[in-house]
Structure 1
Amino acid sequence: MKKLLPYAIFLTFLISVFVGQISASAEGTLVIQKLVEDATIYAEPSADSVEVDQIAKGSYVTATNVSQGWTYIQTHQLEGYVETAALVNVKSEGYLVVQKGGTALFTYPSQNAQKVGQVYENRVIFVYGTAPGGWSFVQYGQDTGYVATNSLKKPIATTKRVNAVNGAVLRLTASPNGEELGTLANKTIVQQYSTLAGWAYVETDTQKGYINASELTDLQKLGNKVYNKGVPVVKGENKRVALTFDDGPNAKVTPQILAILKKHNAKATFFMVGPNVSNNSAIVKQVYKEGHEIGNHTWNHSKLTTLSKTNVKQEVDRTSNATYAAIGQYPTVFRPPYGATNDQVRSVITMPTILWSIDTLDWKHRNADKILAYIKTSVKDGSIILMHDIHQTTADGLENVILYLQKQGYEFVTVSEILQ
């Protein structure tokens, strides 16, 4: 039987709830966890305090971590402390509401439960898990609850670019009054999942939310053309270069290069060969998660102009499939080994073919200082710089390259970005 809370404890309890709500609101997101076992909710973080109620295994809760093995939780009807060991973190996935007129949000997975609110059609909501009977536990803005699973659909992403000189304000909900989550810088590449009443739901590698749809523009369709330089920027904007690395990933050198790029907030493109992708999948994932672009550099590093069309396709497809197995995405650009391409090769390549405008010859001289010397003599706005992330000397010379180019006013972008 539920025990009544003494007034003093109850007051303390309400204050902690209020503080927790402020914290969640300030962060712009809720921390959702799931019960992995039945648990008792206590008024204070102690098994000696008043028992508030019981909560069943499989329940989803809003959680705030507390010290010494206790977590403060909230549901629509209950709140208090449970032992942290009874909880597990759950990840969310974005889903699109496809039911005409939207779908109701309930406190429990039942049509007879209390309604929390309504989530309208074409909104993107976050699904944390499912419950028996065709229900999903979801979050939209600061609201959580259960919706009918058949009212949802996994959305398809479209790649867009932010087109707003002062950046686009990212909001928690599709409304000018929605909580501000930050600003997406001009020219940021995003994945757009839906548009509703002038608002677009977008995601980057680190941020997600709604922006004004008018602040997005389509990316140019590059097709399978051959490129050896990027597009110069308009007057007044920062000059750009694309750092590219071939033949990796390498278990020793590539992580060093990634650390240097991260230190200087620089993005790059890695043209990977198939066996190294398969043997270093964790590094491939790191490259992708840190916002760099992954390109296809064939499986055997063969000179493609000497192969049949069938063998060219096999060389490219094997590496594309290995990349998909590692990160769930196919390579976006292609670089032929030795720069060897012709009409026959291009006829089976669907990605843009990327050559280079500066060859540092790092593979030949293996001298860290010479890398920068080659770049100094030729670099200009839109340069695509060729290096290799399989040589220690390349990693040794990279920081000086970045520092020099930054001092000259360059920013570092991926190949796909520099072609736009």
Structure 2
Amino acid sequence: MKMRQLKIYGLSLLVVIGGLGSAGLPAQAASQSKTVTFGQLTNQNPHRLAAIREVARQAILTKTHAKASRVPAVYQVKLPTHMTKKATLTTSGLRMNLLPNKFNVKQVTLPYAQLTGKILNRYLPKSARTSPLKYKKVVALTFDDGPDPTLTPRLLKTLKANHVHATFFEVGQSVSRYPKITRAVLAAGNEVGNHSWNHPDFSRIGTSASVNQVIRTDQAIYAATGKLPQYMRPPYGNITAAEGRQIQHPIIRWSVDSRDWALLNTQKDIQSVLSATRSGSIVLMHDIHAPSVAAVPTIIKRLKAKGYHFVTVSQLLNQQALPGLQYFAAGNYRTAGK
């Protein structure tokens, strides 16, 4: 049997040549792992560490095939908060040991593809590293308050016909009512974010109630899709500093407010978006108003004619949005609640 030494992700691997099993995998393989601290992985950045915790929660739910009722419990699992704690780089991902928890999970491995932008590039395989956007003019369309049983599917057809992906910030009670539509949003290559359970003003209901709104909506989205949403957008854009610290998602705001909810006029919606959009803009619209959905084909056509490329929020922010921060456009962010 021949062995061959390779260098992958900074690790020395001994790979067996030949001897494939029925599954097409090497019959035997030996590898070395590398122990690192979270401080090394994140360059001592607490927001990056919070992003690792976000990925770990999904990994715990996935590993245990947890039902949606367990989502609140995953937020009670004690995950690393100190930079001196250690994890292990392996060929399949970042392996973390866990403290005793209600899921009876002692260890999880976080896939490198889910750690893009969360840990430093040098600890990632090349395929998972961040890189500059390819286009000079980019814009992200975002739609709030859905899913709507009629208008959201109509919008999805428009996006598909124009080869455009967008980010949908959905209300939990509507997700629970129309889970198939939320699944369709994701299946079409779009993103789904958290927009609270029933759209209250977070700055008025208090931190505890706001956090509960987010977790309840995470639960609804997980029930519909099997995935926790990565992003959160507070209703009206209002969020306090305390809420920003406790909500475990990056906060996505906007730089272009179409005010479509007030205009309710397709031509005015079009003009509102076109006049304000710049490269790197995050555009706020709603997929619960017919004039808004009707405006989208023209908005896409005219912005494409100006040389714009449409991207998701993740792509616009180069996969680097982090919990505890709020984002208004590409390169425009600050601490959540400030």
TM-score normalized by the length of structure 1:
0.48
RMSD: 3.0
Contact residue 361 and residue 387 of structure 1 kept, 8 A = yes
Mapping 1:358-397, distance limit 5 Å: 358-397=256-295
Name the residue aligned to 1:57: none
Mapping 1:3-18, distance limit 5 Å: none
Name the residue aligned to 1:224: none
Query: What's the % identity of the aligned pairs?
Result: 34
Contact residue 159 and residue 218 of structure 1 kept, 8 A = no
SS of alignment partner, residue 21 of structure 2: strand
Partner of residue 281 from structure 1, selected from 179, 187, 191:
179
The Cα of 1:156 is off from its aligned counterpart by 4.1
Mapping 1:188-199, distance limit 5 Å: none
What is the CA–CA distance in structure 1 between the aligned matches of 2:259 and 2:141, rounded to whole Å?
14
Mapping 1:67-146, distance limit 5 Å: 105-106=21-22, 118-119=26-27, 121=29
Name the residue aligned to 1:214: 126
- 2:89 aligned with 1:159: no
The Cα of 1:295 is off from its aligned counterpart by 0.6
The Cα of 1:215 is off from its aligned counterpart by 4.7
Partner of residue 197 from structure 2, selected from 288, 299, 309:
299
User: Given the superposition, is the C-alpha separation of residues 217 and 308 from structure 1 closer, same or farther in structure 2, using an over 3 Å criterion?
Assistant: same
What are the superposed Cα offsets for residues 251-290 of structure 1, whole Å, 9 maximum, x if unpaired? 0000011011011111100000001101111111111111
Amino acid at match of 2:112: T
Contact residue 301 and residue 337 of structure 1 kept, 8 A = yes
What are the superposed Cα offsets for residues 384-415 of structure 1, whole Å, 9 maximum, x if unpaired? 10000001111111100000111111111111
User: Given the superposition, is the C-alpha separation of residues 389 and 117 from structure 1 closer, same or farther in structure 2, using an over 3 Å criterion?
Assistant: closer
Amino acid at match of 2:137: K
Amino acid at match of 1:254: T
Amino acid at match of 2:151: V
The Cα of 1:324 is off from its aligned counterpart by 0.5
Amino acid at match of 1:360: S
Contact residue 146 and residue 168 of structure 2 kept, 8 A = yes
What is the CA–CA distance in structure 1 between the aligned matches of 2:136 and 2:282, rounded to whole Å?
16
SS of alignment partner, residue 168 of structure 2: strand
- 2:142 aligned with 1:244: yes
What is the CA–CA distance in structure 2 between the aligned matches of 1:291 and 1:276, rounded to whole Å?
20
The structure, 1 or 2, with the larger RCO (C-alpha pairs under 8 Å, 6+ apart) is 2
What are the superposed Cα offsets for residues 265-318 of structure 1, whole Å, 9 maximum, x if unpaired? 111000000011011111111111111111100001000011222111110000
Partner of residue 314 from structure 1, selected from 212, 224, 234:
212
SS of alignment partner, residue 214 of structure 2: helix
User: Given the superposition, is the C-alpha separation of residues 366 and 120 from structure 1 closer, same or farther in structure 2, using an over 3 Å criterion?
Assistant: farther
Following TM superposition, where does structure 1 have runs of at least 4 consecutive aligned residues deviating by more than 3 angstroms? Answer: 100-104, 116-123, 213-216
The Cα of 1:216 is off from its aligned counterpart by 3.9
Amino acid at match of 2:129: T
- 2:226 aligned with 1:328: yes
Contact residue 135 and residue 309 of structure 2 kept, 8 A = no
What is the CA–CA distance in structure 2 between the aligned matches of 1:122 and 1:318, rounded to whole Å?
43
Name the residue aligned to 1:349: 247
Name the residue aligned to 1:402: 300
Amino acid at match of 1:380: R
What is the CA–CA distance in structure 1 between the aligned matches of 2:306 and 2:29, rounded to whole Å?
49
The Cα of 1:350 is off from its aligned counterpart by 1.6
Unaligned runs of 5+ in 2: 1-14, 32-107, 118-123, 319-338
The Cα of 1:347 is off from its aligned counterpart by 1.9
What is the CA–CA distance in structure 1 between the aligned matches of 2:29 and 2:292, rounded to whole Å?
51
SS of alignment partner, residue 299 of structure 2: helix
TM-score normalized by the length of structure 2:
0.60
What is the CA–CA distance in structure 2 between the aligned matches of 1:245 and 1:270, rounded to whole Å?
5
SS of alignment partner, residue 265 of structure 1: coil
What is the CA–CA distance in structure 2 between the aligned matches of 1:392 and 1:316, rounded to whole Å?
27
Amino acid at match of 1:217: R
What is the CA–CA distance in structure 1 between the aligned matches of 2:299 and 2:25, rounded to whole Å?
55
SS of alignment partner, residue 267 of structure 1: coil
User: Given the superposition, is the C-alpha separation of residues 119 and 309 from structure 1 closer, same or farther in structure 2, using an over 3 Å criterion?
Assistant: same
What is the CA–CA distance in structure 1 between the aligned matches of 2:313 and 2:26, rounded to whole Å?
43
